[in-house]
Structure 1
Amino acid sequence: MTTPTAWQRRRAPLATRRTTLAARPASLTTPTTNTPAHRRLLLAAATTAATLALVAVATTSPEPAAAAETVSVSTAAQLKSALAAATPGQTIHLADGVYTGNFKVTGRPATASAPITLEGSANAVLRTSSGGGNVLQLTDADHWTVHGITVQNAQKGIMVDSSDHVTIDGVTVHDLTMEGVHFRTSSSYGVLKNSRIFDTGQDGRGMGEGVYVGSANTYSDTSDHVQILDNVIGPLVRGENVDIKEGTRGGRIAGNTFYGDGLTGANYDDSWVDVKGNDYVVEDNVGVGTTKSGFQPHQQSPGWGCGTTFRNNSSDLSGAVGSGRYAIEVTVYDAATCPVTVTSDNTVVGGDGLVNPGIPVSLVGGGPSPEPSPTREPTPSPTPSPSPSPTTPACTAPAWNAGAVYTGGATVSHAGSTYTARWWTQGETPGTAQWGAWAVVGTC
């Protein structure tokens, strides 16, 4: 039996009305066929049927969209083909295994309602054959998500170029000669979260940043509103854990754990986070180990490196060397033209303190901590002039000798006092006994 179509089902009420009309009494049935009245009735019925059909088509709800397509791949060749042909709403799933090559997505944008996802477990490993180039590069690829995979053994890990709303989630990136993840060429609203990045910058030039946003020495790269959330960056990141370049603004760095054991000072890498962009929020991060400072807003040129807020970050500067070892080292500050906000819930262990002198610390929930009032020096009470101690005369009398014979009136000195013999005496030590041979007459 043929199942009626949706259009046929919606015509059922019209057929029912026709059946009802046929069942009417003879006095009410249609005239004899081929009369003018009959023709008019047929024309009216046909017009009504056509109208109802149009209404049915106009009001029919669209059929539900087909389920999003999943493309499963297990070889490098299949992966390259899938990336080149990706369409919105598609998921490319990688089987566990090693995929060797330089993988590129170019000109395959998706949409917010139908993103494209590249996914696999941490055992789906993308790597280059020679350690050169980028492992994965997305260009003009809006609304892509990269999830779960491992990227390793290359010059650079994941590069995002001219692509907005790219999310990198739960990936592992390591063993690179340069940076791990880079949002550049005006790639805005990107997110890196729940990921691990370690062992970067293996060439020792200090250019192995964990995460890099923007481009150096240019202000045309407006990779704005990038968020770096809940990642573990380090150990052995040979460059800043996060490097934010001038020309970018409005991002957020939150909930990350930074290890600074890879910092060497090469290429000015002496902090976990270096912010040269504007209006960033840096909060709820934990950093351990650094050569100098924890967090640094820098001004590469006037008007940049301003407006950053640092709050509730925890810094362990144990082992930092030299001067200027601050959890938050603000290199340029002007309350009117280049403000930086440091709140009182930031904490520090070791080093020279929370923030360098001259930078106000804002109370959480309030304004800046007041400058402590100088302690008023008490008016000293006049020191009384001491009464002069009597001068003790020198012992001029000869010292007492136990073997000498002394007659009455003889004078000797002994143990700081002067004595006079009362009578003849020999061998009796001078003292203060009431009935002794010696009477004390003074001190010396």
Structure 2
Amino acid sequence: MSIKLRSSNASYDRKGYVKFNTSSLSGPVSSAALKLYVTNIHSNTTSYTLEAKGISNDGWSESTLNATNQPSEAGTPVGTATVNQEGVYINFDVTAFINSQTDGAASFRLAGLNEDLGSDYATKENANAAARPILVVNGGGSSGGDTQAPSVPTNLTVMGKTSSSVSLTWNASTDNTGVTGYEVYNGSTLAATVPGTSATVSGLSPNTAYAFKVKAKDAAGNASGGSNQVSVTTDSDVIVGPGCTNALTSTAAIQTAMKNAKPGDVILIAPGAYIGDVSTAGDIPRTPEDPYGPGLFYSPKNGTSANHIVMKSCDPQNRATLKGVAMNDGSYGIHLTGDYWELRDLVIMNAQKGIVVDNGNHNLLNNVEVHLIGDEGVHFRDGSSYNTLEYSKIYDTGNYQAGYGEGAYVGSDESTPYEHIVIGNVIRYTVFNGDITAEHIDIKEGADGTIVEYCNFNGTGITGDNSADSFIDVKGINTVVRNNQGYRNGNANVVDAFQVRTHGSLYGTGKNNTFYNNTVNLDGVPGYVVYATSAATGTKAHDDVRINGGNLYNNNVNK
């Protein structure tokens, strides 16, 4: 369901309709709530109001409903809700309306109240049971209640940690009426209640061992058994020199520190937003016609294996933001051409490309958040090898060119002028969290030994442009994809979870790639967990899980 008010003229708005069977109610209810799951907030929207109206005639049919025969509506709204967050249920109090219905059904019309703003909602047809629309009723003398508990959440995994917090993710549960949330337990103590399949537990002590489990709950209050237990020790409480007292507080200071960095330097950045400028960053122009290079923040300097160059927020709980002014101006949020850098605890946004590493080796990107990007989020390019992206979050890419909006990109297309052989890059413990318009990870021909592990993919935003129809597209060689989770989330543009293809003939392509222990939900539609084209050779896969059934591997995958 997509609800977006196109214009202030009501004849151009977009509406959604839902209907529930209430025939089991034999009397007034004490409370009733309509719950809708927000899968995606449109890129031009930060917050808007969604209105629900009761429909007085429940005789309409989904199969015949169109723009000319919309059902009549009750005269006043039955509820409104503010929409400002993805991956959560929004609630409407519809008690009075439910008590006014006597025909065994209750229907609602949904529409946004703010011009040209909107978001997407899960429907019964395109979402798993954990995200479908729900009508939660208390009282009413219904004949028999729901006593079936949700299935047990599986594959609870630690996605990140600090000295005071632990981030967790898990596979969704299913339920006969729909899962409404999850409870996260620290030992026997309830630590968090969340609507989706991830949570960050804060307020923990440094250098302390914790054990977590998760339970699923449904609208009737039924709880599942506990998930697998994960044990984790929080980081030590790191004190960096004088803390933020002497941290950098201006764009000019950050750019100067990067241009003059030397092995062992620690560049601390104070909380705040810093708007980069290509005219002062010192980057090398790409062509003779370009007056400046593309980097908003740039460095060509090298650390060493013993003394890395570290650039990070001085306060990991209040990260600095490095940003540009446009997503279509050719800019790169951060551009590195050196070795042995660590970029930690930073937010990169509002540039055409997020973080680009060219001819850079042994670099680490840890706890970076990259979003609001015109093209790809992170790119290891031009011979860049042995780099790692970990414990990070990437979303909302491809706002300028949807077909080039990869979350992470390893290597380069054969037609480009870059060095194509890139070796041993690793992407792990990273959440690719919606509105990524192309593949979440694209591994190009010439990429050798790439590892992708413990990542989470939300397929909501994949557009199908430029053949983007999977979470990961592998054209390289000797790739290992393991222990990841992927969710189609009703997006018909997602055909397969992982694809192996060949491209060109100048570099190693489509050979000896391996997939195992991945869990995906493709909503039960045709398609494969791993699909290898006929030209790909040596593709191997085993012990992958597909939720809700369906094909695992096509015939060119060796099981």
Q: TM-score, normalised by structure 2?
A: 0.49
Alignment of 1:331 with 2:533, yes or no, is: yes
Alignment of 1:93 with 2:286, yes or no, is: no
Aligned partner letter, 1:127: K
Aligned partner letter, 1:118: M
CA contact (8 A) 2:346 2:367 kept: yes
* 1:104 aligned to which of 297, 317, 334: 297
Aligned-pair distance for 1:351?
A: 6.7
Map of 1:114-263 to 2, 5 A cutoff?
A: 114-120=307-313, 121=316, 122-131=318-327, 132=329, 133-139=331-337, 141-203=338-400, 205-218=402-415, 220-263=419-462
Q: 1:178 to 1:319 in 2, by over 3 A?
A: farther
Matching residue of 1:403: none
Q: 1:358 to 1:155 in 2, by over 3 A?
A: closer
Map of 1:246-325 to 2, 5 A cutoff?
A: 246-289=445-488, 291-302=494-505, 303-318=508-523, 320=525, 325=527
Distance 2:552 2:524 in 1: 16
Aligned partner letter, 1:113: A
Aligned partner letter, 1:231: T
CA contact (8 A) 2:534 2:556 kept: no
Q: 1:279 to 1:188 in 2, by over 3 A?
A: same
CA contact (8 A) 1:69 1:89 kept: no
Distance 1:231 1:243 in 2: 15
The alignment-based identity, stated in percent, is 33
Aligned-pair distance for 1:85?
A: 1.1
Q: Deviations over 1:211-268 (max 9, x none)?
A: 0011112584212110001000121111100000001101100000011111121100
Aligned partner letter, 2:444: K
Aligned partner letter, 2:529: A
Distance 1:283 1:83 in 2: 35
CA contact (8 A) 1:316 1:350 kept: yes
Aligned partner letter, 2:518: N
Aligned partner letter, 1:201: G
Structure 1 segments of 4+ aligned residues over 6 angstroms from their partners: 67-71
Residues 188-197 or 233-242, more deviating: 233-242
Map of 1:360-371 to 2, 5 A cutoff?
A: 360-361=558-559
SS at match of 1:279: coil
Distance 2:242 2:443 in 1: 37
Aligned-pair distance for 1:68?
A: 9.4
SS at match of 1:79: helix
Aligned-pair distance for 1:333?
A: 5.8
Matching residue of 1:367: none
CA contact (8 A) 1:138 1:161 kept: yes
Aligned-pair distance for 1:313?
A: 0.4
Alignment of 1:354 with 2:556, yes or no, is: no
Aligned partner letter, 1:354: L
Distance 1:333 1:265 in 2: 22
CA contact (8 A) 1:175 1:202 kept: yes
Matching residue of 2:115: none
SS at match of 1:135: strand
Q: Deviations over 1:145-184 (max 9, x none)?
A: 0000100011111010111001000010000111000000
Cα RMSD for the two superposed structures: 2.1
Distance 2:386 2:341 in 1: 12
Q: Deviations over 1:314-363 (max 9, x none)?
A: 1100175xx5x1111111367xxx211111x10113474101135331xx
Aligned-pair distance for 1:204?
A: 5.0
Residues 121-130 or 106-115, more deviating: 121-130
Matching residue of 1:21: none
Distance 1:298 1:201 in 2: 22
CA contact (8 A) 1:229 1:254 kept: yes
Q: Which has the higher contact order (CA 8 A, sep 6+)?
A: 2
CA contact (8 A) 1:110 1:143 kept: yes
CA contact (8 A) 1:213 1:223 kept: yes
Aligned-pair distance for 1:206?
A: 2.0
CA contact (8 A) 2:259 2:301 kept: yes
- Whichever structure has more strand as a proportion of its residues is 2
Matching residue of 2:251: 76
Q: Deviations over 1:268-300 (max 9, x none)?
A: 000000010000110000000152100011111
CA contact (8 A) 1:68 1:91 kept: no
Distance 1:318 1:153 in 2: 33
CA contact (8 A) 1:195 1:232 kept: yes
Aligned-pair distance for 1:196?
A: 0.2
SS at match of 2:532: coil
Q: Deviations over 1:69-108 (max 9, x none)?
A: 9973111111111111111100000000111014333331
Distance 2:242 2:509 in 1: 45
Q: 1:221 to 1:360 in 2, by over 3 A?
A: closer
SS at match of 1:353: coil
Aligned partner letter, 2:400: D
Q: 1:277 to 1:68 in 2, by over 3 A?
A: farther
